[in-house]
Structure 1
């Protein structure tokens, strides 16, 4: 039986002798009396090995838990979506395949919520939006479309008595109403019961109010909404699941997602993509703009996605739908941007730049790309809210304290 003295045992464990003594006092480690000196304590190697293995395992778990919060290993079980090299899949159906087969956004949303893909596009009732939410004037700089959507959600919740319903159909009814209300806020023209287009799809309403109601444009909006409908456990989705785990209602949970999406590292990345395209159009040279940004140490948004090292498939899904109504100068500027970014090894373009390209090419107002992202992602948020409510546990991660320790009393 190999024995270590205090200094040797501490060195073997990689700790201070004071920590070694703390292990003994806490019952984590046994010591034995030295045969040649009753005042001296010794430590069995087998006991030290057991403590070392326990410490290493604990460190590994902590590291894994910390890594999971930073694009790391999966930390929750979900049956809603999966990230694959071909892009996201929804309930086992790839987003790319759903677009290729001509499904509408409403069908994909219902698939996410129920697990069943409707054979034909469902007709969702238009939202009963309060008159105070109608915005006929252009969006002011301080009032982004995404901000207006947050306001619309709050007003819609107050008017929706069905939000207290607990049946499956009541929850689906609220879900459809939420998306229709957010879409109405995005187009700055809330529909009224007298609207002759009250059976329009979400994409058709966006096309009619924001661009042109041509079939190609409608399909482009449908594709964009489907492409971003869900993406597993990103920041905004995690926020909605945390809220749902507390027992919060559907509207507050969606509000948590909308609030998170305003961040520049999430939905706000679309805003930065719009700004980058605008800068290239203004300067007339993507190379000049990118070099200037990099020399100033600034970010170049819209390139390189950590989960798609070989390219974000959603980029091509969206931009490939841009038809003859798209502004050619915008498409030329973005083509140059992508080419320069490739030469600079910044990574392939992402869906954030795709949404910014779509909105700029169709002449949508500033901030529309982030709002379009949030509108599509609301379908996924709602699915995750339902799933978290069904799982029934509180999401409460632990923190590893690294601050100043209190002084001994």
Structure 2
């Protein structure tokens, strides 16, 4: 080892942290590491470590001080490493509590996935029901919204109104959070207006009365074709959680401050409202519309490139070899009647976006797969965002239950001030 370099274990001992935290420092750019030549492990610059140690020793009061009940205790500048038992993304696969999600979705529905994530088991699956009085109150609130209000905005209103109607919402014990969450997920769907002609006779295998069956009547007009509700159910399972996505971090931050479950869901809904996360499927839906209307993806992709717009629905940095959720959902979409033209448009889009690169350079992600399903089902552009939000509510609440058991207010980032120097005198 060269002079001025420290091993990972030495850095951990000097900083008084775990080895995993040293790697977290490195991943966030707080320390630079070099691989050991011809061996395993990394080394770190001793001067950088000393500077970081000096910064750690600064004594900073917790926000609120004694008034917040902290007794003037100090809080650490150490980056927060979130330990979770919920979701793992590894080697191009997605797992809920160690269970391969793609395989799980082939056998179980959304209610079972919630049971798995919430730690009560996949069988027989949770019952997702909301009290009739609650649903009636939420629908009355929904009736006061302006005509044309977007369905995702209705979800946000539902979460806020449901909170105001629950005087026991600050009971954060796991059993209460599960009961609250099951009712809220059902309420998010039941409070949405039904599509004209939405049929309540479903063709599927074990989906009659499921949340997916109820959600269909809010997103599509008329009865579903054979297998369509099963496909929607599979989409809900595949989207229920995805480790520490942006909206999940927002939900955990709210839970860290001991916000109630409705506020946790509201935080997740707020963070997912942007075009780069929950609303990404809407952009992919519009892109797919353009490709189908043009009869070819080449002129559409060319126009996106000419105007400098990113092409939505392609690639995922956590799945360099392809999004397994997209592959599973597109396979299910392929079993639906009339799927041929839509799937052909997806394949054409992937080829055109890849250009002269290898065929694997671009692959469809779950946003494009969700858009393909929504388009085939005759759903609106915003339907994919609704499906995402309803599904991910299960994951947000699972993460909240974990966070409620962790020390409070730990999800606190540190800023590096770059403004003008403070006034003197």
For normalisation by structure 2, the TM-score amounts to 0.72
Residue 107 of structure 1 pairs with residue 112 of structure 2: yes
In structure 1, the residue corresponding to 2:309 is in which secondary structure? coil
In structure 2, the residue corresponding to 1:83 is in which secondary structure? strand
Residues in 2 aligned to 1:229 and 1:304: alpha-carbon distance in whole angstroms: 19
Flag the 1:52–1:163 CA change in 2: closer, same or farther, 3 A: closer
1:201 matched to which residue of 2?
Answer: 210
Contact 1:341 1:347 in 2 (8 A): yes
1:401 matched to which residue of 2?
Answer: 417
2:396 matched to which residue of 1?
Answer: 381
Flag the 1:58–1:295 CA change in 2: closer, same or farther, 3 A: farther
Residues in 1 aligned to 2:309 and 2:118: alpha-carbon distance in whole angstroms: 40
Task: Tell which deviates more after alignment, 318-327 or 79-88.
Answer: 318-327
Flag the 1:249–1:189 CA change in 2: closer, same or farther, 3 A: farther
What stretches of structure 1 of length at least 5 have no aligned partner?
1-48, 60-72
1:15 matched to which residue of 2?
Answer: none
2:355 matched to which residue of 1?
Answer: 343
Contact 1:226 1:376 in 2 (8 A): yes
Residue 160 of structure 1 pairs with residue 171 of structure 2: no
Flag the 1:187–1:112 CA change in 2: closer, same or farther, 3 A: farther
Report how far residue 257 of structure 1 moved: 0.3
Question: What is the aligned counterpart of 1:179 among 172, 176, 185?
Answer: 185
Q: How many residues in Structure 1 have an aligned counterpart in Structure 2?
A: 341
Task: Tell which deviates more after alignment, 242-251 or 50-59.
Answer: 50-59
Residues in 2 aligned to 1:355 and 1:139: alpha-carbon distance in whole angstroms: 26
In structure 2, the residue corresponding to 1:372 is in which secondary structure? helix
Residue 221 of structure 1 pairs with residue 232 of structure 2: yes
Residues in 2 aligned to 1:124 and 1:56: alpha-carbon distance in whole angstroms: 49
Contact 1:293 1:300 in 2 (8 A): yes
Flag the 1:175–1:252 CA change in 2: closer, same or farther, 3 A: same
Flag the 1:280–1:404 CA change in 2: closer, same or farther, 3 A: same
Task: Tell which deviates more after alignment, 73-82 or 316-325.
Answer: 73-82
2:13 matched to which residue of 1?
Answer: none
Residues in 1 aligned to 2:242 and 2:87: alpha-carbon distance in whole angstroms: 7
Question: What is the aligned counterpart of 1:315 among 304, 323, 326?
Answer: 326
Residue 147 of structure 1 pairs with residue 153 of structure 2: yes
Residues in 2 aligned to 1:55 and 1:123: alpha-carbon distance in whole angstroms: 54
Task: Tell which deviates more after alignment, 124-133 or 83-92.
Answer: 124-133
2:125 matched to which residue of 1?
Answer: 121
**Alignment of structure 1 residues 209-358 onto 2, 5 Å:** 209-211=218-220, 212-213=223-224, 216-322=227-333, 323-343=335-355, 345=357, 347-358=362-373
Higher helix share: 1
Residues in 2 aligned to 1:220 and 1:76: alpha-carbon distance in whole angstroms: 33
Task: Tell which deviates more after alignment, 268-277 or 200-209.
Answer: 200-209
Contact 1:229 1:380 in 2 (8 A): yes
RMSD over aligned Cα, in angstroms?
A: 3.1
Contact 1:207 1:214 in 2 (8 A): no
Q: Residue by residue, what CA displacement relative to the aligned partner does 1:69-114 show, whole Å, maximum 9, x if unpaired?
A: xxxx9931111111123432111111112112x1110111111112
Report how far residue 333 of structure 1 moved: 1.9
Contact 1:105 1:226 in 2 (8 A): yes
Report how far residue 267 of structure 1 moved: 0.8
Q: Residue by residue, what CA displacement relative to the aligned partner does 1:311-366 show, whole Å, maximum 9, x if unpaired?
A: 11111111111133355433332221122223355621111111111111111112
Flag the 1:136–1:106 CA change in 2: closer, same or farther, 3 A: farther
2:50 matched to which residue of 1?
Answer: 54
Residues in 2 aligned to 1:340 and 1:315: alpha-carbon distance in whole angstroms: 18
Flag the 1:196–1:332 CA change in 2: closer, same or farther, 3 A: closer
In structure 2, the residue corresponding to 1:206 is in which secondary structure? helix
Higher Rg of the two aligned structures: 1
